[in-house]
Structure 1
Amino acid sequence: MEIIQFDTQQELDAYAARYITDLVKAKPQAVLGLATGSTPIGIYDKIVQIHKNEHVSFEQVTTYNLDEYVGLQPKNDQSYAYYMNSHLFSHIDIPAEQTHLPNGMAANIEAECVRYDAMLAAQPVDIQLLGLGHNGHIGFNEPDHGLSGGTHVVKLKPETREANARFFDSMDEVPEFAVTMGVGSILKANTIILAVRGADKAQIVKEALTGPITTNVPASLLQTHPRVIVLLDREAGRMLD
């Protein structure tokens, strides 16, 4: 595990974006695993800048997102499909049919999970971008006595819904369920980039990176992966010094 600390969020964003776009330049048919939330926004902004300024093409790239809320239409401005289009897909030259998210509106959600896992098995992820939840979740894999390996439906913890409520008009609008890649699927990526910022994440960063490996802190399972690059701002990494 490689841990890199940055003085500013902008430096972190630039490093992650450069790492991803360098892969795309070297491997035009790269498969990218993508995340949502507040942390990746700056990374996606930098990727768009590099795409435009350096003419890095995403025409042959395939993407798989970690998760999606159950019950939100893709056109809902709080869906992760909408987020990805707003922050990345609509600003680069990637064909829409090469971008994939779990379908939270699927009539048969279990069949949707099987379908998504089959696609992931056929196209292994080269780089998986992750954020880190306050309770240690990655994707929407919440702390539990056991974790699912493959894509599955999860009931979101109250603390996760509360953390995401800032994006909605009210707590009542925050979905209770999501579809997420499992930890097993995440760990199959060739390289994992974990990006974390903010003093409020310092304690969970310490637990995830240096504490015991436990399903009660799902991110701690990243310690078992052979190639994890952790990108932290100084506040998020302050308890590691």
Structure 2
Amino acid sequence: MKVLIKPNTQVQAEFAANLIKEEILAKPDLKICFATGNSPIKTYQELIKMNKNKDVSFSKVTSFNLDEYVGIQKENKCSYHYFMHKTLFDYIDINKANINLPNGIGNIVDNSNKYEALIKEKGGIDLMILGIGKNAHIAFNEPGSLPTERTREVKLTKSTIDANKIYFDSENDVPKTAISMGIKTILEAKKIILLADGESKAKALFDTIFGEVSPEIPSSYLKTHPDVTLIVDESSAKMILEKVKK
């Protein structure tokens, strides 16, 4: 596991976007899994700039996403379908037929199995982009998640609901479950980049790096993968830096 600490979120975003660009230039038909949430937004903005400047093309890229709320239509402004289109897809030259997100409507077991089959059919994920929750969840794999689990319906913890309620009219509107890639699915990606920023992520990052590999720290399973890079800002790396200085 490689940990790269950048002075601020802008430098972090530029660095991460350049890494992603280089992966696409090396393999134009790259299979990328994108993350949602605040952490990757600036990176996506940098990718949009690169695409507009003709520095990189997404025309042959196939995209996947980590998760989606259960019971929310994709046109809903709180859905991750909507988020991805409004923060990235609508502004780059990706073929809309190559965009794949989990389906949170209908039979979730069937949807989960179909999503896993689609990933396999496309040859697996080359590059996985992750964020991390305050409780060290990756995708919606909450504490207690097992490394054998694949895409499935998961119950969201109160801390995750609290963190996401800012996107909804009220806490009651936040879905209580989501369809999420499992840790096994995530770890099958060839390369993983995790983005984190802000002091609220400091404990989760510290536990990821220095904690035991355990279901209680879902992100700790990333230590079992051969090619993981954590790109973080100084505020989220606060506890790591304090430990290193001792």
Partner of 1:216: 216
Unpaired runs of 5+ residues, structure 2, are 242-246
Task: For 1:163, give the aligned amino acid.
Answer: A
**Cα deviation 1:170-226 (Å, max 9, x = unaligned):** 101101110000000000111100111011111111101111000001000001000
1:239 match: secondary structure: helix
Q: 1:239 to 1:53 in 2, by over 3 A?
A: same
Distance 2:239 2:102 in 1: 35
Consecutive unaligned residues in structure 1, runs of 5 or more = none
Aligned residues: 240
Deviates more, 1:75-84 or 1:141-150: 141-150
**Residue 172 of structure 1 pairs with residue 175 of structure 2:** no
Q: Within the alignment, does 1:3 sit opposite 2:21 as a pair?
A: no
Runs of 4+ displaced beyond 4 Å: none
Distance, in Å, in 1 between the alignment partners of 2:199 and 2:139 is 20
What is the SS of the residue equivalent to 1:129? strand
TM-score by length of 2: 0.95
Amino acid in the other structure paired with 1:236: S
- Asked whether the 8 Å contact 1:131–1:138 carries over to 2, the reply is yes
Query: 1:148: Cα distance to partner?
Result: 5.0
Q: Give the secondary-structure state (helix, strand or coil) at the position aligned to 1:135.
A: coil
Aligned residues: CA RMSD: 1.0
Shift of 1:54: 2.8
Q: Is the 8 A contact 1:141 1:147 kept in 2?
A: no
Following the alignment from structure 1 to structure 2, what is the Cα–Cα distance between the partners of residues 189 and 214?
A: 20
Please give the alpha-carbon distance, in whole angstroms, between the structure 1 residues aligned to 2:49 and 2:145: 42
1:199 aligns with 2:204: no
Identity among equivalent positions (%) equals: 38
User: 1:133 corresponds to which residue?
Assistant: 133
Deviation, structure 1 residue 134: 0.5
The SS at the match of 1:186 is helix
Shift of 1:108: 1.4
Deviation at 1:147, TM superposition (A): 5.2
Residues 213-222 or 142-151, more deviating: 142-151
The equivalent residue for 1:115 is 114
Q: Are positions 1:96 and 2:96 aligned together?
A: yes
